[in-house]
Amino acid sequence: MKRKTWWKELGGWGFSIVLGFVLSMIIGIFIIQPYKVDGHSMEPTLTDNQRIYAWKFTHVLEKLPAYGDIVIIDSRVDRSRTFWDDVKEHPIITWLSGREEDDVFYVKRVIGLPGDTIEVKDGHVIRNGQQLEEPYIKEQMDPSAAQIWHVPENHVFVMGDNRNNSNDSRSIGPVPLDHVMGIDSF
């Protein structure tokens, strides 16, 4: 009799653990996932090592974020993403596998949407001929040679708020929508 109760208790715990794991995976892949800001590229808005939570609906539904949204992107824009990337990058899977998070996820602000022309000239950002008012940036960009990008269909153009210390679309190019992992929910 005692043995039967013990197995029943163990089965109940096992079911609870498996259910918790499955629900965590579903929530992390499809709804919300934590990320950590790595570096100073989003100062003053976000700080180094700050934890943020990204709503994944944008990624799952491949919806277009809005101008000014803070997004988490996969910076490996030269490769395609699959559903299995989302599974392998889930925090529980990375923890169980013992591998460290790669420095491939960037936190940036959406500056351009499909069809936009983005120009950086004299330390200012110009979208479709209009200079942007950007009260969120840390400091004006250092003037450099003028650069122009045309944002293709199903892509966004992103930049960090600390423009002089940011690896963003100016160096990696426009980001495919399927590489936008989510929108920051801070």
Residue positions annotated with a catalytic role: 41, 108
Query: In degrees rounded to 5, what are phi and psi of residue 177?
Result: -55, -35
DSSP class of 163 = G
β-bridge mates for residue 121, sequence order: 124
Edge-first strand order for the sheet with 51-55 is 32-36, 51-55, 180-184, 70-74, 105-112, 155-159, 175-176
- Cα gap 77→115, rounded to integer Å: 18
Mapped onto helix, strand or coil, the DSSP state of residue 102 is: coil
Rounded CA-CA distance 34/53 in Å is: 4
Q: Which residues contact 66 (CB under 8 A, 6 or more apart)?
A: 110
Task: Evaluate the CA torsion angle 24, 28, 32, 37 in order and state its sign.
Answer: positive
